[in-house]
Amino acid sequence: MPQGAVCVVRFQPASDSSAAIRKAASADIQKDGLFEAYTRNPGDGVFIGKYDVTFSVLQDVTSSASSLIDPKYTKAKTTPYHVTVDGNVDDLKFELEPIAAAPKKK
């Protein structure tokens, strides 16, 4: 996983989700790749439903143009990752390709 000043995973309700509650969740991704997603407050988790999983991995916190990952991971329409949360999920694994010309962080 590329490391940057910003490393976030987002769970966006899928357009075809039939969940009663449709709320997005997110989490900061730790250096070891672990994250704990939450909806409003840390620890409250993700509502049951179907989600498109997107990511933001930025070298510079002030510029979305400093992305370190392939753009396909940043939008719900192009992400290859979709999950259905139907209970306690603790085994999600995502692999992200860095963009070809990503500068190395010193």
The residues near 105 (Cβ < 8 Å, ≥ 6 apart) are 3, 4, 59
Other residues' Cβ atoms within 10 Å of the Cβ of residue 43: 6
Q: Which residue has the tokens 């490391």?
A: 3
CA 35 to chain centre: 9
| Whole-angstrom distance, CA of residue 7 vs CA of residue 66 | 12
Give one word for 4, left, alpha or beta, with left for phi > 0 and alpha for psi -120 to 50. beta
- pLDDT tens figures, 58-85: 998 877 778 999 999 999 999 999 999 9
Q: 20-73 pLDDT, tens per residue?
A: 889 999 999 999 989 999 999 988 999 999 999 999 999 988 777 789 999 999
